[in-house]
Amino acid sequence: NGRICPGNKALMQSNKQLQLQDAIRLSSAQQQVVRKAIIEEAASRGQRIYALAVQPTHIHIVADYVPQPIGKVVAFYKKAGRLALKTMGHNGKLWTRGYDKRFCFDEESLRRRIRYVDSQN
């Protein structure tokens, strides 16, 4: 429904305790490199990106449907970002396991998601 819920401090603290390493914060230059890598990966796979926000700690993508499992699609973009950052000297773990997905079944929900992601830039 596109609604933003307030944060949960107890959940955040619990999640931080489960972290095996410190969170990575992408610099502005790194964000641009990852953005470019994702756009290029999408073009090479023939997937349209409607909206993309690369933030210091996470990424939002609104992408067109492709006939592949969503987990594989996410893996392609994570790999593209990781390899792009490797050229800047970043080695080691970058992304967490998993991803959050939201499917849009009508134009209005798609527009809402695009507006939200665009607002994160």
**Whole-structure pTM value:** 0.83
CATH of the domain at 100: 3.30.70.1290
What per-residue confidence (pLDDT) applies to 14? 85
What per-residue confidence (pLDDT) applies to 92? 78
7 inside domain: no
What per-residue confidence (pLDDT) applies to 35? 98
Task: Give Cβ neighbours of residue 96 (< 8 Å, ≥ 6 apart).
Answer: none
Q: Work out the angle at residue 115's Cα, subtended by the Cα atoms of residues 41 and 107, and round it to the nearest 5 degrees.
A: 85
pLDDT mean over 83-104: 89
The pLDDT > 70 percentage for the chain reads 98
Neighbour count for residue 17 (Cβ, 10 Å): 7
Count of domains forming the chain: 1
Distance, CA of 39 to CA of 37 (rounded, Å): 6
Neighbour count for residue 38 (Cβ, 10 Å): 22
19 inside domain: no
Reported as a single tens digit per residue, the pLDDT across 53-63 is 999 999 999 99
Domain coverage including residue 37: 25-119
pLDDT mean over 28-52: 97
11 inside domain: no
Residue tagged 């944060």 (tokens): 7
